[in-house]
Structure 1
């Protein structure tokens, strides 16, 4: 346990962390994980899915429907995670089915999960660091395990599992993450960093050995890559995803 926490604390890339974390959770019977984090939550939306941090080892078929098809927004355990912090077993879903308290949209997601053998597990909702951020991880038990068996595992190891996932979550927030179609080139990143340092366009041109027009081109392309309208927004979004002022982005 101590060795694994030290490993998490010293991970240098998202790929290294996720490969190790999926293997570690599999030791407890959770062989499929999906982690999600957003900094763009509002009262009616979780933001653009392309700006989410999504890490998963679920099959592509599952992710295409659950994430790409927008089913996550109606998933009962996602709804629970948005309103709560801590860990909750999926036994509550059976109770909701029995009492007919699932909405039609939630029941559709529930039935989809049954077809995909996503039937038993736990969801951990992490403590939010701002009103607009939220992170959670769903730990799916291997096929054939019942919720009662998963609850027994949690009874014995739940505190350790919860702690390891909390540390993994906190570490993820410090690592560079290039969302699909949101990556910056080195020149775009450098130009944004100088803007973040308060340099003028002429200052940046001199420092980078470019013309002001070329600097503006790099900043325009950075805005387009990050899907924002202003350079200030680009600086903020790049900083949020740890793409700026890092040793290796």
Structure 2
């Protein structure tokens, strides 16, 4: 797909599923057939936040995701550490250099061995620019199993700028689309109640607007807090807004 055609597809995507399907297919045209996109809005100096709040998109096998994500190897991944400290595109050749310079600790070496076992040894990582110290996003572009890092560097030499542009546009598009982590989606009534709270309405006001009793409104707000794993309704409004679960058109 030509760049202009691809950008039209990305801009017109109405869901994460539609967007991700198109992006996976486009990156495969450049021989990057295994991707992991990750984004957090809750980064601090010592943590990336609750993993359940991460936006994670991937087409990797369940075996790889179980080891890399669910068993926590990602937290020691050398290229993730690089992405947290840098912006732009980083060649996985950096990993070899870090190893040669003695900058990989035991935990990072475990990640390298796991990736080697899973034939994930050649690729690039793109770290996205953020306007907030709390936000960070990056994407791992794993090349086909039969390609070496030298092969990848040749591809990047010819198409690197185009690939970075495509990934940046996809990242910006993802930020606009609704995302609900597993088991943290809101019902239509919960969204509506939170939206009215965000508009400054009291429980009594919301009850009248929604045609419910105040007790039922409070129930919807409590269930929304539980679904979003927060303690206060103000926190629920903020998290739902950050995840684009509020004020969105039904698709």
TM-score range, shorter chain: over 0.9
2-structure distance, mates of 1:111, 1:6: 40
1-structure distance, mates of 2:36, 2:197: 35
5+ residue gaps, structure 2, are: none
Per the alignment, residue 36 of structure 2 pairs with 34
1-structure distance, mates of 2:89, 2:224: 38
Cα deviation for residue 100 of structure 1 reads 2.6
Per the alignment, residue 124 of structure 1 pairs with 126
Verify: 1:2 aligned to 2:4, yes or no.
yes
2-structure distance, mates of 1:98, 1:38: 31
Verify: 1:139 aligned to 2:141, yes or no.
yes
1:11-160 to 2 correspondences below 5 Å: 11-160=13-162
2-structure distance, mates of 1:74, 1:41: 16
Question: Alpha carbon RMSD of aligned pairs, Å?
Answer: 0.8
Q: Secondary structure at the match of 2:184?
A: coil
Cα deviation for residue 154 of structure 1 reads 0.2
Cα deviation for residue 7 of structure 1 reads 1.3
Cα deviation for residue 92 of structure 1 reads 1.1
2-structure distance, mates of 1:185, 1:99: 52
1-structure distance, mates of 2:232, 2:74: 30
1-structure distance, mates of 2:9, 2:24: 14
Per the alignment, residue 193 of structure 2 pairs with 191
1-structure distance, mates of 2:79, 2:69: 14
Per-residue CA deviation, residues 8-34 of structure 1 (Å, 9 max, x unaligned), is 111111000000000000000000000
2-structure distance, mates of 1:120, 1:134: 23
Cα deviation for residue 67 of structure 1 reads 1.1
2-structure distance, mates of 1:220, 1:238: 14
2-structure distance, mates of 1:193, 1:129: 25
Most deviating of 122-131 and 88-97: 88-97
Cα deviation for residue 6 of structure 1 reads 1.4
Per-residue CA deviation, residues 67-124 of structure 1 (Å, 9 max, x unaligned), is 1111111100000000000001101111222333201111111111100111100000
Q: Secondary structure at the match of 2:230?
A: coil
Per the alignment, residue 237 of structure 1 pairs with 239
1-structure distance, mates of 2:125, 2:250: 32
2-structure distance, mates of 1:125, 1:30: 16
Verify: 1:172 aligned to 2:174, yes or no.
yes
Most deviating of 168-177 and 93-102: 93-102
